[in-house]
Structure formats: C-alpha cells, structure tokens
Structure 1
Amino acid sequence: MPQCNKLSPEQSFEEVLEKVQPMITSIFLKLHIYKDYDYYRHLASIAVWEAWCKVDPLKGKFSAYIYTTVKGELMKELTKEVTFEELHAPMDDETINYVRGFEIKPKSPMLLETLLAELKEEERAILLLYYVEGYTYEEIAQVLHLSVSAIKKRRTRIMTKLRELRSSIVK
C-alpha cells in the first residue's frame, strides 16, 4: 500500500478516496465480506469521508486513522446485521421441528384446537404474537407488560407444555 503513505488531509477527498481503495479491499478480505459488496463499499466511503473531516495530524498517521475508522464502521455494520438476523428469525429450529411433527402424524383435525384450548389466555397471546404476528420478544414484553426474559421463559414452557399435551392426546 505505498499509495497510502502519500495520503495527507490536505488532499481532496476524491483523491484520498481513490488512493485508499486497495486498503478498503484489504479490509473486506479480512472481515470476510462476500455479499452486498456495493453497500459495504459505500459504507467504507462514508467512513473515509468522516476520517478525512475529523483528522488531527498531530495524533498520528492519516492512513492509520482512515484504516481504523473504515474497519470500525464496517465491523459495527456487520454486528448490526448479525443482531438483526438473530432477532428477526421467523422460526427457530425447535419450532420448525414441532410444526413438522404436526404435519407428519395428525391424528385429528381438531388436534391444534384441542391443544390451544388447554393453554391460558396469556400463553395463547404469546404464541399468537410471536408466531403469527411476528413480534420480537421485546415487542411482546412491551405489549404484555413483562420483561423480555419472562417472555422467553414462558415461550419455552409453553412449547414444553404443548409437546406434553400432544403426546398425551396422540397416544
């Protein structure tokens, strides 16, 4: 990256951005960015702009500041993406396997209705909000005026209760 050594805050932004393209590509490789390439390239350009605007030449090399700024912004975005995917997964494996169990051996068309009738109103509300409406744990907690951990524990208990009820009814 010999071009990066020639960087200075006095250069125009366009010139700086052009010279740091190999650096940005190197960061992409290190962070294993392999999809949404244009989006992340755009984020990197914004990070270069922020570094160019905020640079203090007395605090170190300009190229090092750009590198840490770009890498930091990309890592933040990757973290947000992972967090979003975890929070908004439509169904977890446990639920998918449970639903598959209904599809494989339905003993009665009324089985689901029978199971749901055995649940308390709040338990049905949690299932409806989570699986049908697609609410997150945080949103359900807000609607029902409970903590997020309480909602998670109750959903787990409801699933266990449904499995037990199903096995007693199906036998």
Structure 2
Amino acid sequence: MKEVEFEELIVRFTPLIKNQIKKLNLTHAYQKYEQDALIALWECSMSFDETKGSFSAYAYVKVRGKLLDACRKEIRIYKELQTQSVFEDHPDSSSMLHSDSDLERYKKGLTIKQRTWLQQAIEEEKSLKEIAFTEGVSIEAVKSWRKSALSKIRKQLNSTRM
C-alpha cells in the first residue's frame, strides 16, 4: 500500500480508533494505545483480502483485538511487577504475596463484586466463565465488575504516579 493511501486510511479510521480507546477505557495511556491501533490498521492494509468481506469490518476487528491484547499485556506486566516487588521485600515468605501486596491497597477502593472479580481473576487466575459459575451470575455481570474494577484501579494508579 502506498504511503498516501495509508494516510487516507488514518484520516478515515481515526474516529474508530478514538471510539475504541474510549470504549475500552484506555485513555490513561492514549498515545500508546493510539499507536497500537495505528499499527493494527497498517497491518490490516497489508493483509486485507477483498474477497473475504469489507475492509471496515476487518479493520474494526483487528484494531479492537490489538487494543485488547495491549491491555491484557499491561495487566500481565503489572501483575509480574507486583509479584517481583513483594518477593524482593520479603524473600523468605511467599505467603506475603497476598497479604501485603499492592493489590490489597487497590481492593480498598472497590465494591464487593469488584473485589470478588479481582480476587478470583487475578489472584486465583479463574476465567470469566468460572467466576460467573462460582458466583451464580451471568458472564456479562462479571464483565461489568471487571470493567468497573479496572477503571478504578487505573485511576488509583494514575493518582499515585503524579
């Protein structure tokens, strides 16, 4: 694809990118996620096959998927950093991971349902389906808990960085 054509794609799909970043509540690191979305858009322009459907639908799926992957990666890195810092502070005790970790600090700002999601998803590594089954609710309810909890945790993280 030519450079001029890609610049036209950027102009055309900027509203989609902004919308997805906002929908996924990733505005705390807007430029990073915008860059990830633009990379996904470029990859779409390189791999698109006209015989398989419309470009806009393909771009939507790929951009959203790239943003979700980047968000999951951020959460994974955060978990690893928290685990490392706990073990560095308390090398003798792995039980300190759950009692003294920074996750406990973030739990204080969450509702009971959000804490339930955090406990089971992050610490017990359960899937959304497993949490929903355990709690006797729909998967959509658990997704709602997750979304709200992540939003609050991001706000707490941003306030501690300043």
* TM norm structure 1: 0.49
Q: Does 1:28 align with 2:6?
A: no
User: Which residue matches 2:38?
Assistant: 45
Q: Structure 1: which 5+ runs fail to align?
A: 1-8, 92-129, 135-150, 161-171
Task: Tell me the secondary structure at the aligned position of residue 32 of structure 1.
Answer: coil
Deviations 1:136-155 (A, max 9, x none): xxxxxxxxxxxxxxx9xx72
More helix by share: 2
User: Which residue matches 1:122?
Assistant: none
User: Which residue matches 2:12?
Assistant: 19
1:54 CA displacement: 0.2
Counting aligned pairs with the same residue, the percent is 29
Q: Structure 2: which 5+ runs fail to align?
A: 100-162
User: Which residue matches 1:114?
Assistant: none
User: Which residue matches 2:62?
Assistant: 69
User: Which residue matches 2:74?
Assistant: 81
Select 1:155's aligned residue among 84, 94, 103: 94
Select 1:57's aligned residue among 46, 50, 53: 50
RMSD: 2.9
Deviations 1:24-61 (A, max 9, x none): 11111211112111111111111100000000011011
Deviations 1:88-117 (A, max 9, x none): 1123xxxxxxxxxxxxxxxxxxxxxxxxxx
One-letter amino acid of the counterpart of residue 29, structure 1: K
Select 2:88's aligned residue among 131, 139, 155: 131
| Alpha-carbon distance in structure 2 between the residues aligned to 1:156 and 1:133 | 9
One-letter amino acid of the counterpart of residue 58, structure 2: Y
Q: How many residues are aligned here? A: 94
Larger radius of gyration: 1
One-letter amino acid of the counterpart of residue 72, structure 2: T
1:133 CA displacement: 9.2
Task: Tell me the secondary structure at the aligned position of residue 26 of structure 2.
Answer: coil
* TM norm structure 2: 0.52
